[in-house]
Each structure stands twice: as C-alpha cells, then as structure tokens.
Amino acid sequence: MNVLIVSGIWPPDVGGPASHAPELAAFLRARGHGVEVVTTAAETPPAADFSIHAVLRSTPVGLRHARVAALIACRARRADVVYATSMISRAGIGSTLARRPLVLKLVADAAYERAKRQRIFSGSLVAFQEARGLRITALRLARDLALRRASHVVCPSAFLRELSLGWGLAPDEVTVLPNAMPPLPELRPPEEVRAELGLPGIDGSAPLLAFAGRINAQKSLDVLLDALAQVDGPSLALVGDGPELARLEGHAAALGLDGRVRFLGARSRTEVLELFHAADASVLTSAWENFPHTVVEALAVGTPVLGTAVGGVTEIVRDGENGLLVPPGQPAAFADALRRYLGDEALRERLRVAAPGSVAHLRPERIYGELEQILARAAGR
C-alpha cells in the first residue's frame, strides 16, 4: 500500500501533527508500505527515508493554498490512499482531483477556529455548535463539505466524535483512535536538563512547571501566567511558537514574572520529553482541546498533568489519579490547584507513580496498527 500523508506542520515545528505524522510515516515504512509526505514549512524539512514535499510558508496565503492542493493532487496519483492530519480542504480537493480515497484525522472544529480568528464568535466550542449567523453558517458549510469528501474520519477523542456526528457524519464512518504515546528515548537526569536550559532549581529545590505546544489563543496561556503570579515559588518553562508569543512575553513581564518564566522556542521531540521529565508537573490551561499529544507525552515520562477539564482532556487525565483538573478560564482555581499539588508531597508522588501506567494502553504499535487497517480498508486492500 502506498500512502500520501498530508500534515500542516512537520519537525522542527512543535504541535500534535508534527509528532503524529512522522511517527506514522516511520511505522508504515517499517511495515513495508510506500510513504510520501506533503506539508508546509518555514524551511526545507530535514531528509528522511521517504519523500517529503514542502510548500514554504513564506508563499503568499492564496498561492500557498493553491500550491498545496496541486501538490497533493500530483503526489496522490502515486498513492492508494491519502491520509490528512490537517489542511483538510486542500487534501479533499487534491484527493478528489487524483481520484484517490481520503482518510481524515479530525483534530478540531475548523469552522469554530476560523470564527474565533475572524472575531465573529467569542464563546466556547460547545456553544458554537448552536450559534447562528450568515458567516457562521458559511463556515460550517465549508467544514462539512470538506469532511464529506472523506472515506473515513478518525477522531482522537470521543468528545470530538460526538460533535462530528452532529455535523452530519455517519456513525460507522467515524472511529475514535486516541493519540499514541511516544517512543521513549533514554532521558537525561533532570538536573542536567535544567542546567543546560538555564532553568531555576537545578538541584531540584525549586518547583518547575512545563508547557509545550502552539502558543495561540486556544491554549489560554494568559490563565496560566495569571495563576502563576498568584503562587509563590514555581517557575515555568514554555516550549513552542505561535501568534500569541510576543503578547504573552509582554504579559509575563507586566505581571512581574521576569526570572520565573522562560520562553524556550521550538524544541525537538526528545527535548520536550526531557523537559517534561525534568519538571514537577506539565500544565495545560486550554479553553478547549481534542486529545493533546503533550498530555500523553508528559504522562508517559512520569509527569502528572495539571490541566483544564475541557474536551478530550478528561478522557486521559483523571482528577486525583494522574493529575488535577480545574474548570477553564479561571486563574484563581488553577492557582489553587498549583498550591494543592506543590504543597502535598504524598499527592505528588502518588500521581507521579500512576502517570506512566495510565497511558500504557496507548502504545504506538497498537494505535498505528489500527490506523494501518483503516487506511487499508479505505484503499480497498
């Protein structure tokens, strides 16, 4: 079977698709399948043992979208099936032109995200499902048309699957398949990682919190910074890039968090795993989430998650078992969770011991093996 993988981001970018797509490509290659990749990138991606075709993000937006769709159409003619983790509309156009089946990984409500970016809706994801208006209706129509080009849809969370069924997808065409836990390299000692990054508490005396992911509005990192300003002691390391970065750097300075917050920029997958391993907790204050890779990564290396009870987060983080959960958009509640966690050594140890086992069922060979079967069925193999 020959598979064309479409991903909007690719390493060294940080984010779920940049973790998932390369891992799947390597798995399929090891299983004897042909693999090609179409992506967008800031610069030419590093070489791999499969072909990676990138359209540079410096290309003007309209032209970039057209080039991506045309590139997918061209490369899909060599494939038996197209698998897209993002750029869903372009993948739909390209696969249709090439007359190849399309399997989509649904990671978000594209209509909701566009409505937020265009500032025509400011409420929650759940509330958006009932929102009205011509522009919102048009965004929903575009989303639904793109999804209906797919032979099958994969959702990492039951939460998002339920939403998608409300958009008109048939139940037998949508499968819940959680994100896989990462393959774990040998991790360096926490004190070595802290020292290399210039982080506080090299000897482990100062609590360290870690975040990794896209620095955008969805992540609601203002809530995290506001909570941190209310709690004495812990420092925060943030890995990633995104449109909110400059503003959040300014917000951290305005809160007087200089010296307690480090923005580390983009880092490799191994560096992210090492940072989580070196941290006392992984933190996530998102306004909404599907099934974030970074939650699985943190738990896999034994680091509990302090997060918001939104979307698919509650399907992997169990309050009081492998992490703590609070309502979204409430800095005071998140600050209380930080104080509770950092002030109770027995709680920290109990959550840390439980963390790795809580994601053992997400081993890559099982998750990617199921996805391989879905791709084969779509390809008629």
Q: Same structural domain for residues 258 and 226?
A: yes
Distances (CA, A) of 113 to 37, 143, 218, 256, 292: 25, 11, 9, 31, 16
The whole-angstrom distance between residue 273's C-alpha and the CA centroid of its chain comes to 14
Q: Same structural domain for residues 114 and 213?
A: no
Q: Same structural domain for residues 231 and 307?
A: yes
Number of domains comprising the chain: 2
Q: Same structural domain for residues 101 and 217?
A: no
Q: Same structural domain for residues 347 and 372?
A: no
Amino acid, single-letter form, for residue 47: A
d(CA 248, CA 27): 37
Q: Helices (DSSP H) in 230-278: which residue ranges?
A: 245-254, 269-278
380, two tokens: 């008629």
Range of the domain at 102: 2-180+363-379
Q: Same structural domain for residues 241 and 286?
A: yes
71, two tokens: 């590139």
372, two tokens: 């391989």
With residues binned 3-state (H G I as helix, E B as strand, rest as coil), the percentages for the chain, rounded to 5, are 45, 15, 35
Query: pLDDT tens string for the chain (381 positions)?
Result: 999 999 999 988 877 888 899 999 999 999 999 999 999 998 889 888 999 999 999 999 999 999 999 999 999 999 999 999 999 999 999 999 999 999 999 998 999 989 988 989 988 888 899 999 999 999 999 999 989 899 999 999 999 999 999 999 999 999 999 999 988 889 999 989 998 888 766 556 689 999 999 898 889 999 999 999 999 989 999 999 889 999 999 999 999 998 899 999 988 889 999 999 999 999 999 998 988 989 999 999 999 999 999 999 999 999 999 999 999 999 999 999 999 999 999 999 999 999 999 999 999 999 999 999 999 999 996
Burial class (CB in 10 A: 0-12, 13-18, 19+), 15: buried
Q: What is the CATH number of the domain that holds 152?
A: 3.40.50.2000
Decide the pairing of beta strands 2-7 and 34-41.
parallel
**Whether 57 contacts 41, CB under 8 Å:** yes
Q: Same structural domain for residues 268 and 321?
A: yes
In a domain, 185, yes or no: no
Question: Model pTM?
Answer: 0.86
In a domain, 370, yes or no: yes
